[in-house]
């Protein structure tokens, strides 16, 4: 089967539209999957979003069609074509972390997982059709680009001249270019929110421990979270329903028990969700860095839209709280606070041991031997800042032992205490900020994304939802991020949904 003709447009396709077409019998999952594979073959060579295609995709789609014919549809994602970030273990595919030394065809070794990561297993169990795995920068080190992947650079679907956002660049570009309906991303330091915002897409960076990240190549077992990027907020919510929840494979997910909303994450989506809600606005009390002039104008317009939706806006609620002073950029970086990432040798050791007895590398000691010619932690390496973190060297000396992480724990506690105090004092329901302080830099060059919330919500473990809010004159997307208390995903998704439905700022890109 090839070059199929469908009664629905693949561009910006949503779960709701797909399920309506399935119910009417006007399209099958097999035909839809083939159409997406055709589109990938035509479009992706210009964007390089997908590094591995799934040879079982059409068979999986046929299985979905058979379930539907027999009345056994699993749920809203059944038969829906999706992609997953390359760092998520999936049986049959190497997990390369975007690095030449971890891919046999570029002179490295292949890490072949013995089992799927829980998030991939849950996507499969939902009936979704995994089209393939998406590109990441080497060792997922960047929140801005994917220029140094073994597979080559990933380009931004909103404009090839812009940074695509990282490290989930491939997932954002695949969704932004309508090569898939939605995709899995993962964040340690902005890697969901940055690429989603850079490409004008809704996404959810969940509360830490809501979604399991076992079997996902780590940068920090204390910060890593997996979440969805999609074309609309409802699809983000429906995918979070699939991903969230306890698994014994990832014991920290016990913390989320009792915090999932009855009826699911889409249950509170309502066009009037912002009415009467108190919303905190960006200011120097949160982070002592200004917005650009154009970002200020776009944010002012967004504030007017929020007011029209019935929200009560609170200017700079963190002023005088000491919150901004909690951020401690890690040298030589000027803005990024990497605390919590010093555990990466231990986290990698645990990850490698999970791969199974047949893995080419089974421990951090074997990993260190395999990568000694390109030590990422040495001067000039992509993770050269790591030795500047407290406890990193002690962790590196014995990766089999959990590190102390005293500074990180103190930082998380201070962030959460101050955050909750301000939310209580000001009676805030959420914060709504520009996700970036200015427009996107060019894809080539030293500039990075000027985000507003990455260090703060990753160290604190707080959730954030991006929502499109317009464009700069250059065509660079402008997105808001809705930040809430721990476990507040259902509410902040509802606020993002209300804004999205009232404004419809997202527009499909004209691909180069």
pLDDT at 371: 85
Produce one character per residue of 193-226: b if its CB has 16 or more CB atoms within 10 Å, e if not: bbbbbbbbbbbbbbbbbbbbbbbbbbbbbbbbbb
Chain-wide mean pLDDT for the chain?
96
What residue spans define the domains of the chain? 15-503
pLDDT at 3: 54
Reported as a single tens digit per residue, the pLDDT across 231-290 is: 999 999 999 999 999 999 999 999 999 999 999 999 999 999 999 999 999 999 999 999
What average pLDDT does this structure show over 429-440? 98
Alpha-carbon gap, residue 145 to 164, rounded angstroms = 6
pLDDT at 146: 86
Reported as a single tens digit per residue, the pLDDT across 82-136 is: 999 999 999 999 999 999 999 999 999 999 999 999 999 999 999 999 999 999 9
pLDDT at 272: 98
Q: What tokens appear for 424 in the block?
A: 């209580």
Q: How confident is the model at residue 4 (pLDDT cuts 50, 70, 90)?
A: low
pLDDT at 2: 46
Reported as a single tens digit per residue, the pLDDT across 281-306 is: 999 999 999 999 999 999 999 999 99
Alpha-carbon gap, residue 464 to 489, rounded angstroms = 8
Report how far apart the first and last C-alpha atoms of the chain are (Å, whole number).
27
Alpha-carbon gap, residue 231 to 183, rounded angstroms = 10
Query: 3-class SS at 463?
Result: coil
pLDDT at 68 exceeding the cut of 60: yes
Assigned superfamily of 15-503 = Amidase signature (AS) domain (3.90.1300.10)
Alpha-carbon gap, residue 431 to 318, rounded angstroms = 11
Residues 6+ apart with CB under 8 A from 407: 339, 390, 391
Alpha-carbon gap, residue 461 to 413, rounded angstroms = 10
Instruction: Tell me how far the alpha carbon of residue 168 is from its chain's centroid.
Output: 6
Query: 3-class SS at 331?
Result: coil
Peptide bond into 332 cis (omega under 30): yes
As a whole-number percent, the residues of the chain with pLDDT over 70 amount to 99
pTM: predicted TM-score of the whole model, two decimal places? 0.97
Active site residues: 85, 167, 191
Instruction: List 262's β-bridge partners, or say none.
Output: none
pLDDT at 512: 75
pLDDT at 6 exceeding the cut of 90: no
Query: 3-class SS at 184?
Result: strand
Q: Which of 3-7, 422-426, 476-480 shows the lowest mean pLDDT across its residues? A: 3-7
pLDDT at 145: 85
């Amino acid at each position: 089967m090839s070059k199929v003709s469908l009664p629905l447009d693949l561009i910006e396709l949503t779960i709701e539209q797909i399920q309506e077409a399935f119910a009417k019998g006007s399209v099958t999952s097999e035909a839809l999957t083939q159409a997406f594979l055709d589109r990938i073959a035509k479009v992706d060579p210009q964007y390089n979003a997908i590094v591995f295609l799934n040879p079982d995709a059409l068979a999986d789609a046929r299985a979905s069609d058979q379930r539907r014919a027999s009345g056994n549809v699993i749920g809203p994602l059944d038969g829906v074509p999706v992609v997953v970030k390359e760092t998520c273990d999936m049986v049959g595919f190497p997990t390369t972390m975007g690095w030449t030394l971890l891919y046999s065809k570029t002179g490295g070794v292949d890490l072949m997982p013995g089992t799927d990561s829980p998030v991939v297993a849950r996507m499969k169990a939902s009936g979704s059709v995994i089209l393939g795995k998406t590109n990441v920068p080497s060792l997922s080190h960047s929140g801005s680009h994917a220029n140094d992947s073994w597979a080559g650079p990933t380009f931004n679907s909103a404009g090839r001249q812009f940074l695509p956002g990282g490290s989930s660049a491939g997932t954002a570009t695949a969704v932004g270019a309508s090569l898939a309906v939605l995709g899995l991303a993962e964040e340690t330091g902005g890697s969901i929110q940055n690429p989603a915002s850079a490409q004008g897409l809704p996404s959810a960076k969940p509360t830490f421990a809501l979604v399991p990240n076992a079997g996902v190549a780590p940068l920090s077992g204390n910060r890593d979270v997996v979440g969805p990027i999609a074309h609309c907020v409802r699809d983000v919510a429906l995918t979070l329903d699939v991903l969230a929840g306890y698994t014994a494979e990832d014991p920290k997910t016990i913390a989320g028990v009792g915090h999932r909303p009855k009826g699911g994450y889409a249950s509170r989506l309502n066009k009037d969700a912002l009415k009467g809600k108190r919303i905190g606005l960006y200011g120097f009390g949160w982070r002592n860095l200004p917005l650009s002039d154009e970002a200020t104008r776009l944010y002012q317009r967004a504030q007017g839209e929020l007011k029209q939706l019935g929200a009560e806006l609170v200017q700079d609620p963190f002023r005088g709280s000491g919150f901004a002073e909690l951020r401690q950029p890690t040298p030589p970086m000027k803005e990024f606070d990497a605390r919590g990432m010093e555990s990466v040798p231990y986290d990698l050791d645990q990850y490698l041991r999970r791969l199974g007895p047949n893995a080419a590398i089974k421990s951090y000691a074997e990993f260190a031997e395999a990568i000694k010619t390109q030590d990422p932690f040495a001067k000039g390496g992509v993770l050269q800042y790591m030795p500047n973190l407290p406890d990193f060297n002690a962790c590196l000396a014995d990766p089999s032992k959990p590190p102390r992480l005293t500074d990180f724990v103190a930082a998380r506690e201070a962030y959460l205490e101050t955050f909750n105090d301000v939310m209580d004092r000001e009676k805030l329901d959420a914060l709504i900020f520009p996700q970036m302080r200015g427009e996107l830099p060019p894809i080539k060059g030293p500039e990075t994304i000027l985000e507003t919330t990455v260090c703060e919500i990753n160290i604190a473990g707080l959730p954030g939802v991006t929502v499109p809010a317009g464009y700069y004159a250059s065509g660079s997307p402008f997105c808001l991020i809705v930040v809430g208390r721990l476990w507040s995903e259902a509410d902040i998704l509802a606020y993002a949904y209300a804004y999205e439905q009232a404004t419809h700022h997202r527009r499909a890109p004209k691909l180069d």
